[in-house]
Amino acid sequence: MKSFKTLGLAAALMISGASLATAQTALEGGQEVDMVLLPKFLGILVFDQANEGAQEAHAELENPGDLLFVGPTPENSVAGQIEIMTTSATQGQGAVMLSNNAGDQIAPAAQAAQEAGTRVVTWDSPIPGGEGEDVFVAQVDFGSIGVVMADMAHSILGGEGQMAVLSATPDAANQNAWIASMQEVLAADEKYAGIELVDIVYGDDQAEVSYNRALSLVDQYPDLGVIMSPTTVGIQAASKAMQDEGLCDQVKVSGLGLPSEMVSYTMNGCAPEFALWDFRDLGYLTYYTAYGLATGQLVGEIGESFTAGRMGDYTIEEDPGRPGAKRILMGPFTVYTAENVEAAAQ
Amino acid sequence: MTLLARLKSWEGFLLAALVAIIIANATLSPQFLTLSNQINLFQLSIEKIIVALIMTFIIINAEIDLSVGSMMGLAACAFGFLFASGVPAGLACLLVLLIGALGGALNGLFIAWVGLPSLVVTLATLIGFRGLARVLVEDRGITGFPDWFDALGQRGLVGDIPLALILFAGLFVLFHIVLAHSGFGRKTYLIGNNREVAAFAGIDTARHKLILFTLSGLVAALAGLLFAARVGAVRGDVANGFELDIITMVLLGGVSIFGGRGSLVGTLLAVLIVLNLRNGMALLNITGHIQTGVIGILLIASVIAPRIDPGALLRRRAGRAEEGPTG
């Protein structure tokens, strides 16, 4: 029944000419394949949301196999991710869906998993060198995040002032790529000439560390106007720090945050603007991709297109940020302000 | 020691626990007994368990080396730094081993001759070595090592058995012979039991401690290189916090934190227990906090159990008197 519906949808799309370039694969549900969703570590809301999305797709595709959501502890993230990747290959899992926190250190374990027949799909954060990875499901175009962050800083600072970045861990491939892209945007466009990026610090994606880093930034740079935090943990901790110390008139917080966690700070003016994509959708799309690869319905070649349930059509393409690697671009993302944050936080 | 006495000892208890864990694992997970899983079981923690061998000597000697995790990180980062600066990988390996020996000797000098407690000295170098590692690689990851280097860490050297596992087995046999059947081993126990008495007996205790800490640095550096080869990339946080896992395995093995007691057989049994327990839980998809919690509870039990068993207490009193290298 389900597959008839998806087939019908694909046929309709082909007739409408939406996918003239390549053959459109309509993924057939019901095949049994065990899969693992492996976040950077457990206990972070966005990863739980990604799991909800993956579970939704799991139910929709009527996969009789298991979808496991397992991850390491924050202190043991790198070794823990390598261990789970290795164990998944031993267990004969069909696919591992990885939000990578181990840099290139996970590449040998991921390659060994591939050799054992396990497909490796990364999401949220890829393997920097692209080795050991079938395809990366990118939440948004990494280059466009730089533009959005630069624009938010521009709007908060009124075109002129000092900005500091509060990131996650120093080796988080996604955050580093976004910061680099923002630096390029700032340097390239005359519009941002008045914005000075004074420092980049790391809160390790831990609330307490990020909170203290935010406060020490204020001490260190008395003229600081905005803290830009491209991580949901950092932006919330920095907003709380500014609110607790009564600094919100002086220093604003922006970056990538969750509406449900940020709503109070946006309404009281501590974090007037921030952006994000939907992690449920990211988990959902990642599951469809991994399912297609693990069941052999997708090969993983550039140019291959498929229909990901309610989210529509996607194509595997070359990753512009990582030569030789492949990605599927989800996009776009939403900028939240006092006008729309309350509705999104529900 | 009779067979019965051996079974009643701490090592006998560990052996029984290990057998129970292996039977449970084999029953619950069909993949457990496969050769590739058995190799992975060691490979995932191989660097820690290699360092646990030399740590056994250090703790029996009534000292502690908290700096081993940082030395592993420093060794991996120094290798990455040298390689990225154009030094051939083979030469870089030798230089890194030299750095390890020198770093260990630095610990040894302050402990043996200046007379500072090893807890303090190695706590300082724990921070110092880690700081140096982070300075060397800054906030980047270094990768792209030569194929032969990566292959040594990731592929089988003899059949499917990788270099690190062969090194672990070789070092275990060598260290066991030295500790249990040589004058050096006997001195390690004597000094650990009572340094003053050992000095009166004419043992150069300072020289002995210097040798042990130099070896500890050297072995930790070797382990750091093996880690770099296994994961094919290094960054500043390599092996962060490994020292605690290493020390807990040695203590679980029955080595007394006050020195003078313990054996490498005990350490090996503890290593096998922790590794099999971790692997068994991972195969059952028990990861993260629960896995950490279960191993934590096991370690608490292992420290408390021998203390509340009066029989064990008596045996230990008796053992003190006749304590020999056979432990």
Q: What is the tens place of the pLDDT at every residue in A270-298?
A: 999 999 988 899 999 999 999 999 999 99
On whether residue A161 sits in a domain, the answer given is yes
Chain B neighbors of A84, CB-CB under 8 A: 282, 287
pLDDT digits (tens, 9 = 90+) for B128-140: 999 999 999 987 7
Claim to verify: residue A272 and residue A306 sit in the same structural domain: no
Q: Are B283 and A71 inside 8 Å of each other by CB?
A: no
pLDDT digits (tens, 9 = 90+) for B47-90: 999 999 999 999 999 999 999 999 999 999 999 999 999 999 99
Please determine, for residue A12, whether its predicted confidence score (pLDDT) is greater than 80.
no
**DSSP 8-state code for residue B114:** I
On whether residue A305 sits in a domain, the answer given is yes
Please determine, for residue B7, whether its predicted confidence score (pLDDT) is greater than 80.
no
Using CB atoms, which residue from A75, A86, A105 is nearest to B233? A105
Contact B234, B96 (CB under 8 A): no
Interface of A with B (CB under 8 A): 41-42, 68, 70-73, 75-76, 78-80, 82-84, 86-87, 90-92, 102-109, 112, 128-129, 170-171, 202
Domain that holds residue A283: 2-139+278-331
User: What average pLDDT does chain A have?
Assistant: 89
Q: Are A80 and B34 inside 8 Å of each other by CB?
A: no
Instruction: For residue B258, give the 3-state DSSP assignment.
Output: coil
Q: Are B288 and A80 inside 8 Å of each other by CB?
A: yes
Chain B neighbors of A75, CB-CB under 8 A: 241
CATH number, domain containing residue A101: 3.40.50.2300
Other CB atoms within 10 A of residue B34 CB:
12
Q: Which band of pLDDT confidence, cut at 50, 70 and 90, is reported for residue B299? A: confident
CA distance B159 to B143: 26
Q: What is the mean pLDDT of residues B200-222?
A: 96
On whether residue A314 sits in a domain, the answer given is yes
Cα→Cα distances B296→B10, B69, B81, B173, B242, Å? 19, 19, 36, 29, 15
Q: Which one of B16-20, B67-71, B250-254, B310-314 scores highest in mean pLDDT?
A: B67-71
On whether residue A346 sits in a domain, the answer given is no
Please tell me which residue, A118 or A8, carries the higher pLDDT value. Answer: A118
Q: What is the number of alpha carbons within 13 Å of residue B84 lying toward its C-beta?
A: 17
Please tell me which residue, A346 or A96, carries the higher pLDDT value. Answer: A96
Q: What is the mean pLDDT of residues A297-314?
A: 93
- Token representation of residue A87: 């164990």
Strands (E), chain A: 24-26, 35-38, 67-69, 95-98, 119-123, 135-138, 161-167, 195-202, 224-229, 252-255, 274-276, 305-307, 313-315, 317-318, 326-329, 334-336
Q: Which band of pLDDT confidence, cut at 50, 70 and 90, is reported for residue A106? A: very high
Please determine, for residue B8, whether its predicted confidence score (pLDDT) is greater than 50.
yes
- pTM score: 0.81
Is residue A48 exposed (0-12), middle (13-18) or buried (19+ Cβ within 10 Å)? Answer: middle
Chain A neighbors of B28, CB-CB under 8 A: none
CA distance A311 to B309: 63
- Token representation of residue B272: 């096998």
Q: What is the mean pLDDT of residues A198-206?
A: 93
Domain count, chain A: 2
CA distance B262 to B63: 13
Please determine, for residue A23, whether its predicted confidence score (pLDDT) is greater than 80.
no
What is the least distance, in Å, from the CA of A47 to any CA of chain B?
14
CA distance B297 to B316: 24
**Listed residues A231, A249, A276: the one ending a domain:** A276
Q: What is the pLDDT of residue A17?
A: 39
Q: What is the mean pLDDT of residues A169-186?
A: 89
Buried residues in A177-196 as b, exposed as e (16+ CB within 10 A): bbbebbeebbeeeeebeebb
Residue indicated by tokens 């029944």: A1
What is the least distance, in Å, from the CA of A118 to any CA of chain B?
15
Tell me the percentage of chain A whose pLDDT exceeds 90: 73
Helices then strands, each counted (H, E), chain A: 11, 16
Chain B neighbors of A168, CB-CB under 8 A: none
CA distance B133 to B187: 34
Claim to verify: residue A204 and residue A266 sit in the same structural domain: yes
Query: How long is chain A?
Result: 346
ipTM value for the complex:
0.83
Q: Are B44 and A103 inside 8 Å of each other by CB?
A: no
In B, minimum Cα distance to A104 occurs at B233
Angle (CA) A106 A98 A68, round 5°: 120
Tell me the percentage of chain A whose pLDDT exceeds 70: 93
CA distance B256 to B305: 13
Q: Which band of pLDDT confidence, cut at 50, 70 and 90, is reported for residue A341? A: confident
Claim to verify: residue A196 and residue A100 sit in the same structural domain: no
For residue B226, give the nearest of B215, B234, B217 by alpha carbon.
Answer: B234
Claim to verify: residue A149 and residue A131 sit in the same structural domain: no
Claim to verify: residue A283 and residue A323 sit in the same structural domain: yes
Please determine, for residue B306, whether its predicted confidence score (pLDDT) is greater than 80.
no
Q: What is the pLDDT of residue B308?
A: 58
Q: What is the mean pLDDT of residues A187-192?
A: 92
**Listed residues A276, A308, A339: the one ending a domain:** A276
Q: Which band of pLDDT confidence, cut at 50, 70 and 90, is reported for residue B309? A: low
Claim to verify: residue A103 and residue A65 sit in the same structural domain: yes
- Token representation of residue B192: 């650990």
Other CB atoms within 10 A of residue B90 CB:
11
Q: Are B154 and A108 inside 8 Å of each other by CB?
A: yes
B40 residue type, one letter: N
Mutation choice for B interface testing from A47, A77, A90 by most B CBs within 10 A: A90
Q: Which residues pair with B3 in a beta bridge?
A: none
For residue B56, give the nearest of B294, B269, B240 by alpha carbon.
Answer: B269
On whether residue A342 sits in a domain, the answer given is no
Residues 6+ apart with CB under 8 A from A95: A33, A35, A36, A118, A119, A120, A121, A290, A291, A293, A294
CA distance A163 to A224: 6
Chain B neighbors of A68, CB-CB under 8 A: 285
On whether residue A224 sits in a domain, the answer given is yes
Instruction: For residue A313, give the 3-state DSSP assignment.
Output: strand
Please tell me which residue, B281 or B288, carries the higher pLDDT value. Answer: B281
pLDDT digits (tens, 9 = 90+) for B242-267: 999 999 999 999 898 899 999 999 99
**DSSP 3-state percent helix, strand, coil across chain A (nearest 5):** 45, 20, 35
Please determine, for residue B315, whether its predicted confidence score (pLDDT) is greater than 90.
no
On whether residue A227 sits in a domain, the answer given is yes
CA distance A141 to B131: 35
What is the least distance, in Å, from the CA of B139 to any CA of chain A?
5
Claim to verify: residue A53 and residue A128 sit in the same structural domain: yes
What is the least distance, in Å, from the CA of A338 to any CA of chain B?
36
Helix axes B35-43, A77-91, angle to 10 degrees: 180
Claim to verify: residue A174 and residue A268 sit in the same structural domain: yes
Q: What is the pLDDT of residue A6?
A: 45
**Listed residues A276, A294, A316: the one ending a domain:** A276
Claim to verify: residue A162 and residue A195 sit in the same structural domain: yes
Residue indicated by tokens 């949808």: A9
On whether residue A336 sits in a domain, the answer given is no
In A, minimum Cα distance to B150 occurs at A108
In A, minimum Cα distance to B293 occurs at A73
Q: What pairing do the DSSP bridges indicate for beta strands B233-234 and B161-162?
A: unpaired
Claim to verify: residue A179 and residue A282 sit in the same structural domain: no
Claim to verify: residue A148 and residue A266 sit in the same structural domain: yes
User: Would you say the C-alpha torsion A5, A6, A12, A16 has a positive or negative sign?
Assistant: positive
Chain B neighbors of A130, CB-CB under 8 A: none
In B, minimum Cα distance to A86 occurs at B40
What is the least distance, in Å, from the CA of A337 to any CA of chain B?
33
**How many A×B Cβ pairs under 8 Å?**
85
CA distance A205 to A219: 21
- Token representation of residue A206: 């831990």
Claim to verify: residue A52 and residue A133 sit in the same structural domain: yes
**Domains within chain B, CATH numbers bracketed:** 9-309 (1.10.3470)
